[in-house]
Structure 1
Amino acid sequence: MAKGKLGKRLGVGCLGLLLVVGALLAFTGPGHDIQNMWRNGAIGAILFPEKQRTYTATNEQNLRAIHTALMLYHDSEGQFPQASGWMDAIEPRIRTSDMDASEAKKKLIRPDLAGKPGEFGYEMNDAASGKYKDDAGAKTPLIFESKPTSRNAHGDPVKDRDGYAITVDGTLLKH
């Protein structure tokens, strides 16, 4: 019987200690900091980490993702980026919350060039460089699969196009 009473006392004592510590944390400075961390998701992210998604796609899906990122850039900056640095300009806008940065960068690489360092395979039309979308024209090819494969490649779709393209208004063109 002595062991049973000791166990109950220990259990009640631990519960009481837990309640006292909880009350102190709830009504003191450190407690508010912990509550804020919980509300902002910092503690939840540590306790329940989300699984990051891997990215696999087709040329068409990449072009749509690039188009979306370019339109987000256009909406915030009032014009398309300069063609000479278009990939650098949209890279922060191409990532989604469930995908890490290295997976998101795959959206800028043509699938047949995956695994080839420094090769991308998409080009921005110089005719849209730094322009407002209405000035560029809705049916103007904005991004296209290209023969040049360097990062931030840009040029003329008539000369360099090698496959699919997507227009300013989001229409997918097949070559």
Structure 2
Amino acid sequence: MFGRDSAAVVVVCVLALAGCTFEGGGSTAAEATETEVSAASTPASSSEPASASPSTIPTGSPSASASASLSPTPVPVRSPGQTLVSMNISGGFAGVGQSVVLRGDGTVRARDDREGSVVRRTTAAEFRELRLLLGDPALDDVSDFTMNMSAADLFQYEVRFEGRTVRTDRSAEQPPLDALISALSAFLPKG
């Protein structure tokens, strides 16, 4: 009833739905799916072994496979006064107005309309982590605009980095952007 290729696809789908890992090594079900699909699409008579190289992994966009294979490297700092990233938060039920700016010297200026402003220096570990988040190649695949126009009272985030402006209300999951927003939000004044 099922051919070898159909059975492989069914197994992969079951593993993906169950959230299982694949062959030790910490691979995710999605990676297992890509490997199985690649192996299933290789003809049985081929003398080449099936591999999960980026050229054989089916993905939604070419840049997604390129970004996924690259490791984050900290963004370079050209000068102490350089703005590495800025984030403005607005909206919400009560009408929030907040901002965070990270400079090249490791200082963070955070402002909350109700709580005032605070300037502090990041630790070496915090500064490196923020620069790694900014250097994540997966940020290249994040959409510049993701807003749920039918949702009311969501916070709106405007994040500026490397000549780019990204606007989101976080209604759609974007892990690299969500991690950056969460890390920057930790510097906001606490009331």
Same fold (TM over 0.5): no
TM normalised by structure 2 equals 0.26
Q: Which structure: larger Rg? A: 1
